[in-house]
Amino acid sequence: MTLSAASRSETWPTLPLEAWSDTCATLHMWTQIVGKIRLAQSPWVNHSWHVTLYLTPRGLTTSPIAYGTRTFQIDFDFISHRVVVQSSDGGSAGLSLQPQSVAAFYLRLVDQMAKLDLRVDIHKQPNEVPNPIRFDQDEAHRAYDQDYANRFWRILVQADRVFKEFRARFIGKCSPVHFFWGAPDLAVTRFSGRRAPKHPGGVPYLPDWVTREAYSHEVSSCGFWPGGGSVPYAAFYSYAYPEPAGFSKAEVRPGASFYNGELREFVLPYDFVRKAESPDDVLLDFLQTTYEAAANLGKWDRGSLERGEDLRHGV
């Protein structure tokens, strides 16, 4: 699909990390709180797929969560800038997304859920971040810029759409396209079907057994991340575990992508995709060529794992 420059700017908005880093950090903690509510109420699913959030036409959702014989759902709405809690017996509550500390957000969400007789105790320490502050004590993170939160969600909408097209090419075991609040990132993961060597763990403030269960089998995984550390800008990524010999030197497209040795993954700057004449095609090319590098070098049985062209286009 070819888009005009104006349309690309609207559909794939700019997201300079330095302009919204404080909001990003605060929103990260808010999504961890909501994600941990889903975690606390859900049976364990392989690779932690039970903890994730999903894209909606207005934001992010937990999807239905069991609470006894009832169910409830928590949604982030980045158009009206609210968090909405709905229960299967018709109850509804919520709070505004506005500048407020993580501690205030946590307490207000707990209060709104209590009005619906929903009481969920969560582990209050954040995961996968350095120097974590308990949610109920975090007064440091308190920024919320509505415009940038909305831009972030709009990019996730586009990434979700393209990732689902890429996912449909694969008939082996594959994750949903889902939002992991640990990093945070939107990701989709393909599996070869073979067991993987024991993962070394070492993810900050995440139990090693969780990481090892997540990487119990060989994967090729890709996603979108708002950036940080050695990649101080929004980017798409792709990696393999275990990483096969020669992966870091593989020829992948487009030319703007590169292998980051610290993260051990290929990185494609979001701005390159955003400015492309056809962002969808550029992103799909990155996803496909990095997957092929992992699958070919890892000697995956691609013939039994990939969808044929006759099925790709319907019947």
**Distance between CA atoms of 282 and 3, rounded to whole angstroms?**
13
Looking at the fold, whether 123 and 155 belong to one and the same domain comes out as: no
Q: What's residue 277's pLDDT? A: 97
Residue 287 dihedral angles phi and psi, to the nearest 5°: -60, -45
Residue 217 dihedral angles phi and psi, to the nearest 5°: -130, 155
Q: Establish if 4 belongs to a structural domain.
A: no
Looking at the fold, whether 167 and 296 belong to one and the same domain comes out as: yes
> How many domains does the chain fold into?
2
| 107 C-beta neighbours (distance < 10 Å), count | 14
Q: What's residue 130's pLDDT? A: 93
Chain segment 219-265, per-residue pLDDT in tens = 999 999 999 999 999 999 999 999 999 999 999 999 999 999 999 99
Looking at the fold, whether 117 and 256 belong to one and the same domain comes out as: no
Looking at the fold, whether 112 and 243 belong to one and the same domain comes out as: no
pLDDT over 90 percentage in the chain: 94
**Distance between CA atoms of 220 and 252, rounded to whole angstroms?**
14
Q: What's residue 218's pLDDT? A: 98
Domain boundary among 137, 169, 191: 137
- pLDDT beyond 70 at 312: no
Q: What's residue 3's pLDDT? A: 60
Looking at the fold, whether 269 and 167 belong to one and the same domain comes out as: yes
Q: Establish if 277 belongs to a structural domain.
A: yes
Looking at the fold, whether 103 and 152 belong to one and the same domain comes out as: no
Confidence at 308, pLDDT banded by 50, 70, 90: confident
Q: What's residue 313's pLDDT? A: 53
Q: Establish if 11 belongs to a structural domain.
A: no
Name the residue among 187, 160, 167 with its Cα closest to residue 49: 187
Domain boundary among 118, 137, 156: 137
Mean pLDDT value across residues 170-182: 98
Looking at the fold, whether 173 and 294 belong to one and the same domain comes out as: yes
Name the residue among 234, 220, 297 with its Cα closest to residue 267: 234
Q: Establish if 175 belongs to a structural domain.
A: yes
Looking at the fold, whether 106 and 212 belong to one and the same domain comes out as: no
Q: 112 by DSSP, 3-state: which?
A: helix
Structure tokens at 232: 């101080």
**Distance between CA atoms of 133 and 32, rounded to whole angstroms?**
12
Q: What's residue 184's pLDDT? A: 98
Structure tokens at 35: 């994600």
Looking at the fold, whether 105 and 172 belong to one and the same domain comes out as: no
Q: How many angstroms separate the first and last alpha carbons of the chain?
A: 23
What is the chain's mean pLDDT, rounded? 96
- Give me the domain span that covers residue 245: 147-312
**Distance between CA atoms of 134 and 138, rounded to whole angstroms?**
6
Chain segment 2-11, per-residue pLDDT in tens = 566 665 568 9
CB 166 within 8 A of CB 188: yes
Confidence at 108, pLDDT banded by 50, 70, 90: very high
The amino acid occupying position 240 is: A
Mean pLDDT value across residues 290-314: 87
Name the residue among 70, 71, 118 with its Cα closest to residue 94: 118
Looking at the fold, whether 174 and 308 belong to one and the same domain comes out as: yes
Looking at the fold, whether 180 and 286 belong to one and the same domain comes out as: yes
Mean pLDDT value across residues 289-301: 98
Domain boundary among 137, 165, 186: 137
Count of residues for the chain? 315
Q: What's residue 110's pLDDT? A: 98
Q: Establish if 107 belongs to a structural domain.
A: yes
**Distance between CA atoms of 29 and 118, rounded to whole angstroms?**
21
Looking at the fold, whether 77 and 106 belong to one and the same domain comes out as: yes
- pLDDT beyond 70 at 310: no
Per-residue CA distances from 86 to 75, 90, 115, 277 (Å): 8, 7, 11, 41
CB 73 within 8 A of CB 63: yes
